[in-house]
């Protein structure tokens, strides 16, 4: 009798799973939406750990040129958007429906879950409103000295290397970006640009390590957030959270009696938010965790995105001597005034430098897909209504490689971003920093970092490819990470100019 019951139960479960699966599989077809073929367990995510999501997004754009495409994150239907018009609606026009990201870091890891990148309303709006003013051009100008000091140290580091063709670009550049963003966010001195070491660098090295466990944490945070609390997955390892809290407390104590003058760095601005309550909700207090979470998100959001972009810019330049010459001339004539200071405003106005950076970010957007979730049922167009809770992904990298939008997309052509060609770029087809109210808050900071480092390097060195190294379009992209970063060490020849 017992076995009969067990068998009946087993058969019922199998029938239920089969029935559920057939419904899941029919979901997009029933809505008349072109879709991918789902794997019975992983849905459309069978590429994870085998292919970078950015590379995958590009492929599906090339293979399915529809304005949108149905996919599944495990068994949950998700919509991939390939159309600039729908991207505009999602990111800007209908922002109230798409305020939140689908990804979530759960409740067990407050530093991971309360930061601007992962948190949702009401906390997100409150924090974003207060942090946006510290990223304005005028506030960031106060960091001129930090950018000058660190970019000079970067040159010193390259000079100190005996065999410059063995410099691992990504490692050295993330040493540099860790210093810049670490010092600006937490306000503590560090010298990983010169030494490649330091407590903050140990933390950022940890982020660059894609072992199986971290892979599971990230995949779950991005694609199945309900599992995060069940398995206590975390955005940051515990040791990192403890380190962030420790340095925050020591800096907070150091600055406790400083008075109410203008914030000097991001940490000053963050400290001002402490112990305030969120406008309409007197119960939500801006705790120490909330503050530390923002500083931690700046480090995580800033060091690898900027370090990888710098790597790819320098690598592309090594393969393009004419672009390098043009860039050198511009920086020499318009920015370098012989004082050793690369003025932030002049760098921001250097047209060709900015074209080089834009083109690098077009080809190698660290986050080639933008994540949102529909808060209500939402009409995408006259044919499709998606249900509340559906994750929506803007396929930015797909559009940025569309030959109809960016002719010869595989080629590195900074000129496409010259002011006279601006009209050729359709809006919402170029989105390396996202768009709308939830775009990258650190965009100016990231661009300042890139401008300083690229200019300093080009003023000091001619770059050439190391014989036998892969062409920029052939480099391996990190398969186990979620962002689009180089997956192999890249080197160039640094030939001193004088």
Binding site for ligand HEM (CB under 6 A): 116-117, 128, 181, 297-298, 301-302, 305-306, 309, 361, 366-367, 370, 432-435, 438-442, 445-446
Q: Least Å distance between CB 296 and ligand HEM?
A: 10
> How far apart are the C-alpha atoms of 271 and 134, rounded to whole Å?
12
Q: Which is nearer to ligand HEM, 42 or 425 (CB)?
A: 425
Burial class (CB within 10 angstroms; exposed 0-12, middle 13-18, buried 19+) of 179: buried
Q: 386: which strand partners? A: 378
Question: Taking the alpha carbons of 446, 448, 451, 457 in that order, is the dihedral positive or negative?
Answer: negative
> How far apart are the C-alpha atoms of 118 and 104, rounded to whole Å?
6
Question: Taking the alpha carbons of 358, 360, 363, 367 in that order, is the dihedral positive or negative?
Answer: negative
Q: Which is nearer to ligand HEM, 442 or 481 (CB)?
A: 442
Q: Which is nearer to ligand HEM, 299 or 336 (CB)?
A: 299
Range 49-62 burial, b when 16+ CB lie within 10 A, else e = eeebbbebbbebbe
Cα 389 from chain centroid (whole Å): 23
> What secondary structure does DSSP assign to 150-163, as a single string?
HHHHHHHHHHH-SS
Show the CA angle centred on residue 73, arms to residues 86 and 234, nearest 5°.
110
Q: Least Å distance between CB 449 and ligand HEM?
A: 7
Q: Least Å distance between CB 78 and ligand HEM?
A: 15
| Number of residue whose CB is nearest ligand HEM | 434
Q: Which is nearer to ligand HEM, 395 or 469 (CB)?
A: 395
SS3 242: helix
Q: Least Å distance between CB 485 and ligand HEM?
A: 11
Q: Which is nearer to ligand HEM, 243 or 369 (CB)?
A: 369
> What secondary structure does DSSP assign to 86-151, as a single string?
HHHIIIIITGGGG-S-S----SS-HHHHSSTTT--TTHHHHHHHHHGGGGSHHHHGGGHHHHHHHH
> How far apart are the C-alpha atoms of 75 and 225, rounded to whole Å?
13
> How far apart are the C-alpha atoms of 186 and 265, rounded to whole Å?
8
Q: Least Å distance between CB 60 and ligand HEM?
A: 19
Residue with tokens 């492929």: 59
Q: Which is nearer to ligand HEM, 116 or 453 (CB)?
A: 116
Show the CA angle centred on residue 236, arms to residues 81 and 309, nearest 5°.
55
Q: Least Å distance between CB 198 and ligand HEM?
A: 18
Q: Which is nearer to ligand HEM, 439 or 460 (CB)?
A: 439
Q: Which is nearer to ligand HEM, 97 or 361 (CB)?
A: 361
Q: Least Å distance between CB 232 and ligand HEM?
A: 24
Q: Which is nearer to ligand HEM, 344 or 440 (CB)?
A: 440
Q: How many CA atoms lie within 13 A of 121 on its CB side?
A: 14
Q: Which is nearer to ligand HEM, 117 or 248 (CB)?
A: 117
Q: Least Å distance between CB 442 and ligand HEM?
A: 2
Q: Least Å distance between CB 184 and ligand HEM?
A: 7
Reported as type and span, the H/E element at residue 441 is none
Cα distances (angstroms) measured from residue 98 to each of 85, 150, 393, 427: 15, 38, 11, 19
Q: Least Å distance between CB 301 and ligand HEM?
A: 3
């Amino acid at each position: 009798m017992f076995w009969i019951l067990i068998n009946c139960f087993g058969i019922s479960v199998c029938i239920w799973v089969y029935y559920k699966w057939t419904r899941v599989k029919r979901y997009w077809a029933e809505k008349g939406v072109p879709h991918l073929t789902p794997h019975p367990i992983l849905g459309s995510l069978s590429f994870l750990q085998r292919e970078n999501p950015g590379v995958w997004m590009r492929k599906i754009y090339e293979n399915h040129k529809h304005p949108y495409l149905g996919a599944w994150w495990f068994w949950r239907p998700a919509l991939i958007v390939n159309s600039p018009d729908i991207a505009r609606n999602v990111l800007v026009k209908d922002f109230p429906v798409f305020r939140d990201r689908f990804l979530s870091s759960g409740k067990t890891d407050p530093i991971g879950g309360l930061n601007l990148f992962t948190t949702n309303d009401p906390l997100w709006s409150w924090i974003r409103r207060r942090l946006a003013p510290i990223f304005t051009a005028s506030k960031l100008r106060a960091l001129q000295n930090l950018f000058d000091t660190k970019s000079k140290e970067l040159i010193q580091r390259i000079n100190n290397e005996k065999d410059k063709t063995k410099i691992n670009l990504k490692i050295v550049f993330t040493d540099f970006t860790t210093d810049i963003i670490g010092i600006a966010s937490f306000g503590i001195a560090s010298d990983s640009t010169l030494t490649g070491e330091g407590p903050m660098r140990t933390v950022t090295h940890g982020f660059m390590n894609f072992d199986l466990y971290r892979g599971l944490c990230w995949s779950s945070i991005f694609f199945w957030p309900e599992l995060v609390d069940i398995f206590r997955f975390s955005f940051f390892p515990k040791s990192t959270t403890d380190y962030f809290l420790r340095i925050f407390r020591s800096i907070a104590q150091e600055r406790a009696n400083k008075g109410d003058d203008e914030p000097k760095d991001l940490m000053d601005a963050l400290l001002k938010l402490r112990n305030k309550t969120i406008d309409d909700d007197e119960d939500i207090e801006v705790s120490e965790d909330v503050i530390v979470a923002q500083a931690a998100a700046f480090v995580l959001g800033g060091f690898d995105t900027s370090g990888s972009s710098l790597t790819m810019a320098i690598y592309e330049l090594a393969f393009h001597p004419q672009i390098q010459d043009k860039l050198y001339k511009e920086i020499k004539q318009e920015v370098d005034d012989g004082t050793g200071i690369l003025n932030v405003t002049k760098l921001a106005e250097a047209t060709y430098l900015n074209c080089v950076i834009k083109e690098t970010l077009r080809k190698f957007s660290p986050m080639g897909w933008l994540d949102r979730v529909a808060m209500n049922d939402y009409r995408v167009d006259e044919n499709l209504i998606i249900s509340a809770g559906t994750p929506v992904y803007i396929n930015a990298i797909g559009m940025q490689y569309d030959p109809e939008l960016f002719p010869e997309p595989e080629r590195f052509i900074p000129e496409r971003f010259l002011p006279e060609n601006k009209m050729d770029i359709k809006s919402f087809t170029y989105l390396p920093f996202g768009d709308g109210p939830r775009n990258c808050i650190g965009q100016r900071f990231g661009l300042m970092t890139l401008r300083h480092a690229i200019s300093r390097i080009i003023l000091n060195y001619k770059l050439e490819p190391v014989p036998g190294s892969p062409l920029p379009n052939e480099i391996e992209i990190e398969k186990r990470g979620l962002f689009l970063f180089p997956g192999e060490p890249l080197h160039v020849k640094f030939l001193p100019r004088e």
